[in-house]
């Protein structure tokens, strides 16, 4: 074999390629890919895990875009001689015309390599120590290099609007019109693919299919993960940026918590060489999602998978070659399987960490506790086996705490969602709970919603300085009083919910009597029986239309089986928020008794109690309306007021029932 070097290129007379039997078997059948140099390498993978696997393979450089150019420049037929010895060693000899350059070396220029020119068409170097990032994540950034995403706003808008007028080269040329650095070149390619290429679910599920060609992808605007990765690589190469396709395992669509990985790879992504280091991207997952119920793809751009920090990328991407983890130390497949999987939305919505750090949790005495730390106040919710039940979720200034009580022995699925700055809750974590004991004394009301207890969110909604900062209130006699400050212009509504007895809107509110004192509201609560109850708090801006909005609830607990409090009296619309009822508090009065009344009423000219007869109430020096009435011969008693002394129309404000004789 003779090598000659001039100022521009290397010429070669013969190329010998030697493969061991193991290498040859690992590469698999290549005739289909070599038959069409313009086709992207075929592998079956999927959007977040859909697919039938990816064969292990080492990509020949000759399959890139320059392969077709070589055919035009050297029309002479290349002779290929292949032979095997008795131990399975393969010997391949390519015989070329003396002045021709073999396709495997077509893209190399020794002079350029010696000069160290940066060129997307030079053989990419393998990742080394300087590419590795420390593991675990240091919380410094979601990206593997410093980025200000605001600098991409105009570029992203431009790239997303570029249309395909001709072939791939022309598309890349159009995209690069506004890109002035390798980073910007990679960015416009990434944005265009993520906004224009749809995931082809049907093709991904086929076991035998043809490779995706760039022309077919541009025509149909559909492909699978192989097509995404191959198209991204080819466009980067045309743009002069080094890029590699990386096959491996993934925790995506269809992933089950704690599952193991073996056999064919199920996904593919890319590594790009920028500013002297390798960086990771996944345009398949950056483009959108597949709905698990309808199996339909939806474009939903995900910034997380662009230049993702390798310590985060490893949570759901495990490459065939550990060097492509870009981590120090690299993780084993077993670690990848066992490590907690934080979904991309976990980080997109500002989460920092979660405990426990294992995806499978065993309950202790029927209980499991999960905590999340976030970089800003965040709203959370959870679902246990698809229902928002059997848990106490309390918000913290930077995170949340969840105590979960599985209702039965066995395995349970726990999902945790976060809202962040958007109006949509997104799944951020999934746990598998294993419960071998159920504490029946900790059964929670089905209507106990999230969050439990006051927090930064209730302050944001106008409820401040609560008398009970803890989410659980214990009462021995079945009564309690909860108070909190209320900001100007805010109305408060409360309701009581339990699992025992008939539940109507009337009973939900009649066991609570609300008193407003200046800028502070007091809720007097009487429980109908022992048990656990949810005391729900709602708010509404008085001058704005619409319904009351749920803010939080307390869990009320009473173990006294003698408790049997009646409802409070029924109040009507004219009962002002600043009014106060001191007696009688019970909504059911005894028969044939004289019952004293004492109320504080604002803006009232006269007040009276009406039963079988009428009894006026007198305004005292202390500002209370006082008097009494007889319940003899009555079934109902009303408190009525005259708001304007010049009128004779009295309004009902309270209603009592009288026990049967």
Determine the number of helices (DSSP H) and then strands (DSSP E) in the chain. Answer: 16, 41
Query: Which residue has better confidence, 465 or 212?
Result: 465
Q: Could you give the CA distance from residue 330 to residue 492 in angstroms, rounded to a whole number? A: 55
Name beta bridge partners: 387: 384
pLDDT, averaged across the chain = 82
* 182-196 vs 153-161: helix crossing angle, rounded to 10: 50
pLDDT band at residue 647 using 50, 70 and 90 as cut-offs: confident
Residue 378 pLDDT: 95
Closest Cα partner for 344 from 278, 281, 264, 293?
281
The answer to which of 209-223, 405-419, 420-434, 437-451 has the lowest mean pLDDT is 209-223
3-state secondary structure of 596: strand
Residue 31 predicted with pLDDT over 90: no
With pLDDT > 70 as the criterion, what percentage of the chain qualifies?
80
Q: Which residue has the tokens 């999602």?
A: 289
CB-based contacts of 142: which residues, under 8 Å, 6+ apart? 304, 308, 309, 312, 347
What domains sit in the chain, N to C, each tagged with a CATH number? 131-332 (3.10.620.30), 345-442 (2.60.40.10), 456-558 (2.60.40.10), 570-658 (2.60.40.10)
Residue 282 predicted with pLDDT over 60: yes
Residue 1 predicted with pLDDT over 60: no
Across 441-447, average pLDDT: 90
Active-site residue list: 225, 267, 282
Model confidence pTM above 0.85: no
DSSP single-letter state for residue 385: T
With pLDDT > 90 as the criterion, what percentage of the chain qualifies?
61
Judge whether 308 and 301 are in contact, CB under 8 Å: no
pLDDT band at residue 49 using 50, 70 and 90 as cut-offs: very low
Residue 537 pLDDT: 96
CB-based contacts of 635: which residues, under 8 Å, 6+ apart? 657, 658
Query: Which residue has better confidence, 115 or 430?
Result: 430
CB-based contacts of 419: which residues, under 8 Å, 6+ apart? 349, 378, 379, 380, 381, 425, 426
Residue 211 pLDDT: 63
Query: Which residue has better confidence, 615 or 51?
Result: 615
DSSP single-letter state for residue 397: T
pLDDT tens track for 593-634 = 999 999 999 889 999 999 989 999 999 999 999 999 999 989
Across 162-167, average pLDDT: 91
Query: Which residue has better confidence, 211 or 190?
Result: 190
Residue 576 pLDDT: 76
CA distances from 386 to 327, 369, 372, 466, 534 (A): 36, 18, 20, 32, 21
CA distances from 496 to 344, 469, 503 (A): 38, 19, 9
């Amino acid at each position: 074999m003779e090598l000659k070097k001039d100022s521009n290129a290397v010429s070669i007379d013969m190329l010998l390629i030697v493969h061991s039997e193991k290498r040859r078997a690992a590469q698999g059948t290549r005739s289909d890919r070599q038959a069409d140099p313009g086709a992207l390498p075929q592998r079956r993978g999927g959007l977040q895990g859909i697919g039938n696997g990816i064969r292990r393979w080492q990509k020949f450089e000759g399959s890139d875009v320059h392969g077709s150019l070589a055919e035009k420049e050297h029309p002479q037929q290349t002779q290929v001689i292949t032979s095997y010895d008795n131990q399975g060693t393969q010997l391949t000899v390519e015989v070329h015309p003396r002045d021709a350059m073999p396709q495997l070396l077509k893209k190399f220029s020794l002079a350029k390599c010696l000069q160290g020119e940066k060129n997307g068409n030079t053989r990419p170097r393998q990742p080394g120590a300087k590419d590795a990032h420390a593991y675990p994540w240091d919380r410094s950034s979601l990206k593997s290099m410093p980025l200000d995403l605001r600098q991409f706003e105009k570029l992203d808008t431009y790239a997303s609007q570029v249309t395909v007028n001709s072939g791939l080269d022309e598309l890349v040329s159009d995209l690069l019109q506004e890109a002035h650095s390798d980073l910007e070149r990679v960015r416009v390619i990434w944005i265009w693919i993520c906004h224009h290429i749809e995931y082809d679910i049907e093709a991904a599920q086929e076991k035998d299919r043809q490779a995706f060609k760039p022309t077919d992808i541009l025509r149909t605007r559909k492909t699978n993960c192989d097509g995404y990765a191959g198209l991204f690589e080819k466009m980067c190469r045309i743009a002069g940026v080094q890029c590699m396709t990386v096959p491996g395992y993934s925790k995506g669509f269809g992933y089950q918590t704690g599952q193991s990985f073996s056999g064919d790879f199920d996904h593919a992504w890319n590594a790009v060489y920028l500013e002297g280091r390798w960086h990771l991207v996944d345009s398949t997952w950056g483009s959108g999602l597949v709905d698990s119920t309808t199996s339909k793809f939806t474009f939903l751009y995900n910034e997380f998978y662009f230049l993702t920090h390798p310590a985060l990328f490893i949570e759901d991407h495990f490459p065939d070659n550990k060097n492509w983890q870009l981590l120090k130390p690299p993780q084993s497949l077993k670690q990848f399987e066992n490590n907690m999987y934080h979904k991309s939305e976990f980080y997109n919505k500002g989460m920092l960490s979660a405990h426990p750090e294992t995806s499978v949790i065993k309950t202790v005495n029927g209980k499991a506790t999960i905590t999340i730390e976030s970089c800003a106040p965040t709203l959370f919710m959870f679902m246990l086996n698809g229902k928002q039940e059997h848990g106490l979720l309390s918000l913290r200034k930077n995170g949340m705490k969840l105590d979960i009580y599985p209702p039965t022995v066995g395995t349970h699925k726990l999902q945790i969602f976060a809202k962040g700055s958007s109006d949509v809750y997104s799944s951020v974590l999934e746990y598998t709970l294993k419960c071998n004991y159920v504490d029946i004394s900790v059964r929670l009301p089905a209507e106990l919603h999230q969050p439990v207890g006051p927090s930064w969110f209730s302050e944001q909604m106008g409820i401040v300085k609560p008398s009970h900062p803890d989410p659980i209130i214990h009462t021995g006699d079945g009564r309690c009083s909860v108070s909190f400050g209320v900001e100007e212009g805010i109305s408060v509504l409360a309701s009581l919910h339990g699992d025992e007895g008939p539940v109507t809107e009337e009973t939900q509110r009649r066991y609570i009597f609300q008193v407003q004192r200046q800028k502070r509201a007091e809720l007097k609560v009487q429980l109908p029986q022992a048990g656990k109850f949810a005391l729900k708090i709602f708010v509404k801006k008085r001058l704005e239309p619409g319904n009351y909005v749920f803010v939080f609830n307390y869990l009320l607990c009473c173990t006294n089986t003698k408790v049997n409090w009646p409802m409070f009296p029924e109040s009507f619309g004219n009962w002002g928020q600043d009014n106060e009822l001191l007696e009688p508090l019970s909504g059911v009065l005894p028969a044939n008794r004289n019952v004293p009344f004492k109320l504080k009423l604002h803006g009232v000219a006269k007040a009276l109690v009406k039963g079988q007869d009428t009894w006026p109430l007198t305004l005292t020096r202390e500002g209370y309306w006082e008097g009494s009435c007889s319940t003899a011969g009555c079934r109902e008693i009303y408190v009525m007021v005259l708001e304007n002394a010049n009128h004779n129309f009295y309004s009902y404000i309270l209603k009592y029932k009288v026990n049967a004789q």
